[in-house]
Chain A
Amino acid sequence: MRAVRLLVWAAGGALCAGMTLALGPVDQPDVIKHRAVVYFTLSFIAITIGVIVWDRRPDSRTGLLLTALPFVEVISDGKWIFWNHAFPVTLALACTVLYVPLFAHLVLSYPTGRLTTRLDRSFVLFTYGFAAVYALPYLLVFDTRAPHDRFVYECFDCALPVTHVASHDINGLTDALDWTLLPLALVFLALLGRKLVRASPGGRRVVLPLSIAAFLAVAQFIAHIALNGSPDTTWKDTSWFWINSLVVIGIPVSLGLGLLWGRTARSAVADLVVDLERTPPVGVRDALARTLRDPSLELALWLPDRGTYVDSHGRPLELPTPGPERAVTVIGEAEAPLAAFVHDPALLERPGLLEAAAAAARLALENERLQAELRAQLAELRASRARIVQAGDEERRRLERNLHDGAQQRLLGLGLALQLVRVELGPHANGASELLTEAEEELRAALDDLRDLARGIHPSILTDQGLAAALRSLAERSTVPVSIGAVTEDRLGDPIEAAAYFIVSESLANVAKHAHATTIRVSVTRRDENAVVDIDDNGVGGADPACGSGLRGLSDRVQALDGTLRVESPSGGGTHIHAEIPCGS
């Protein structure tokens, strides 16, 4: 295939060179000949770029179209240079507006070379048909009475026309065909706009340079038709000549820029290797996103034990179904993948780059996977700990309810029965009355104990009236004077309120037992997304959270909620307990 491309390139060179050489004997002013030389040189450069693109992307039609475009433009110029030779003129006439469909095809199908939507396909097909129809009248007609500046028509008897109809008879038809190009150009612009809007961010970046060049080319095309009534440019008018030359070279150059981007992306893989040496493990995704120039890149790491993908934090991740929005590239073998990239579909156009990046990042990815596995286990552990604490709280609430509604009611019932017995016995049962009084005393003590027990298991007031009321109740019962500072009136959720309550109640009990303090200050405030509990006393200090199950249990409870508990207790300097519990979840 490379031979074919070389041959095409050589043919292009020969064509442009031939045209240039043939300029010599043509009866035209020197300035026009000079311009022609410039134009053919630019065309040859365009053909060269086209062949290079074709060679680098043999599976895409873009290169072929890019090569064909300047080719047919040069061929269609043959009617001016070989004006007295039948074959080149005929060929030139046949190719007159062939650049229109080729251009539309190239731009709308870039960068894959495939037209993706039905509308695009229909439009391009229509322009091919239009180019054929457009050439017909010129092939069939010659007119020696045409104005001199369109001199080529003077030699129509040297072309290969089939009929000899005078062209002024069909002037209306040719004019109409010329004007039809205008709406075609407008429809093309609309389709181009649609393509840009629909493209993914990465895809848009690839398409944008060519789109701008195409937009400028079509704008000049429209302006030319509007002003001159025909798309044909001659080399006589200085400004139109230069504009046309810019357009001719602009398309391949802007396309080449896209390719250049691909080149720098390749060399970025080398930077990636260096980058990965330095970055901490979580930075792998960022390094890859930089290298692949896809900020939306997501990294999914495969955990074989679980058979799921997770993100860098170990959170389970569902791979999206590949589509126009997102694409998925699995790294490693299909049965035992290492990871998967979820990325912009535009990257699929450069599979080599993806592979290179994945290969470079392989070690880092392995490392990342181990870390993610660890994090996933940690997250599970944390969740299960939170569940255990929550289940414990539920159980406490249930127990408290049962004590109140079961045992306590029965004891009270028993007490009522004793009352009735007393009434039945009347005022004269001396011995029995004393026994009854004793039983009632016992019963009262039992009820007191039961109430304290239920309260210690779970205070109803916490659920019913909130943390502030429950803390006030605690303070009323404390044997060391407590001053309650600010307490948030927000409901913080059962687990957080329970944790805050038990931190305070356990701390008050500890102070009463060990600290010899004369005052305790308690506050619970909201700071950002955290509930902050502070308890200060003016006691002897020296509390060690490592000893004593009370503080230890509190610390566990707080950590299960992703919070922190700090105990500062310098000897002789009082004790300060500070807990922060996130309320976000």
Chain B
Amino acid sequence: MRVVIADDSVLLREGVSRLLDDEQFDVVAKVSSPDELLRCVATETPDVAVVDIRMPPTHTDEGLVAAETIRGRWPRVGVLVLSQYTDTDYALRLLDGGEERCGYLLKDRVLDSGQLADAVQRVGDGEVVVDPELVARLVGRVRPESPLDELTPREHEVLALMAEGLTDRGIGERLFVTPKTVETHVRHIFLKLRLPESSSDNRRVRAVLTYLRN
């Protein structure tokens, strides 16, 4: 899988590059600014671009803006945004550009090469990835009375994994159950939360995140 890395810190750029290299990814380019990134995506058409959210010149959300541009111009290129912010708004902004081939991951994940590689692979395969910590906070959030109270513990688990972007098959593998069982859980969850059922695995991420947030 061909990967491009954009981060203005040399240390992280090189580190992430080596990690992905070890995991058998083909790192075709490493760049340090949004402009270089866009040029590079245009020439290399990688499978996935791994983009730091803070990049020059203002070090605020340039990475996210670049990601939005890539998703608009090259829909076949997956984008994984690495961020230090646990705010849901940033993740939802990324999902606004379309609910496939994208991911929002906390930068801490580079400390676990397996997690990072898994996320890159999933984005490359066309899935959505949302950082588990962000989802855990949304799911565990205190609420006044809510339909969420009606969910069984198992359904809670499935809900969280859905929000992280996993497919029915992915959820089944995590929970050691068959996809058929997962499908049943998902149907129950949608029923209890009164959400319109979604045909696609990916399109439900946004619905679930938005639901959890309000």
Contact = CB atoms under 8 A, between A and B. Distances in A.
Contact of B213 (A443, A476, A479, A483): A476
Interface stretch (A150-158, A403-411, A568-576): A403-411
Contacts of B16: 416
A463 B61 CA distance: 10
A412 B77 CA distance: 26
A461 B92 CA distance: 13
Given A415-B110, A416-B19, A451-B84, A472 B89 contact: yes
Interface string A456-494: 000111011100011011001111110100000000000
Contacts of A473: 87-89
Which of B18, B60, B93, B111 has the most chain A CB atoms inside 10 A of its CB? B111
A401 B59 contact: yes
Which of A412, A423, A463 has the most chain B CB atoms inside 10 A of its CB? A412
Contacts of A115: none
A348 interface: no
A418 B111 contact: yes
Interface of A: 401, 404-405, 408-410, 412-413, 415-420, 423, 440, 443-444, 447-448, 451, 454, 459-461, 463-465, 469-470, 472-473, 476-481, 483, 518-519
Interface in B54-103: 54, 59-61, 84-90, 93
A498 to B, nearest CB: 15
A448 B109 CA distance: 12
7 contacts: A409-B11, A412-B111, A415-B111, A417-B15, A463-B60, A478-B142, A481-B143
Contacts of A401: 59
B108 interface: yes
B121 interface: no
A463 B22 CA distance: 38
A460 B89 CA distance: 12
Contacts of B112: 440
A46 to B, nearest CB: 82
Nearest to A443: B111
A416 B144 contact: no
Give the size range of B's interface with the partner.
20 to 34
B88 A472 contact: yes
Contacts of B59: 401, 404-405
Given A415-B111, A469-B87, A476 B137 contact: yes
Contacts of B154: none
Which of A417, A419, A473 has the most chain B CB atoms inside 10 A of its CB? A419
A409 B135 CA distance: 24
Nearest to A479: B142
A412 B108 CA distance: 7
Given A410-B11, A416-B16, A478-B142, 17 more contacts: A404-B54, A409-B9, A413-B11, A416-B11, A417-B15, A419-B110, A420-B18, A423-B113, A443-B111, A444-B111, A461-B85, A461-B89, A465-B93, A473-B87, A476-B138, A481-B142, A481-B143
B32 to A, nearest CB: 13
B108 A447 contact: yes
B141 A412 contact: no
Contact of A413 (B9, B19, B60, B86): B9
B138 A460 contact: no
B142 A440 contact: no
Q: Which 8 A-B pairs have the closest CB atoms?
A: A416-B15, A413-B11, A415-B111, A469-B89, A473-B87, A461-B87, A481-B144, A409-B9
Given A409-B12, A416-B16, A477-B137, A440 B84 contact: no
B15 A419 contact: yes
Contacts of B110: 412, 415-416, 419
B203 interface: no
B21 to A, nearest CB: 10
A519 B144 contact: yes
Nearest to A463: B60
A582 B54 CA distance: 33
B107 interface: yes
Nearest to A422: B113
Contacts of B85: 460-461
Which of B61, B84, B86 has the most chain A CB atoms inside 10 A of its CB? B84
Contact of B54 (A405, A415, A440, A483): A405
Nearest to A405: B59
Contacts of B18: 416, 420
A519 B145 CA distance: 11
Contacts of A409: 9, 11-12
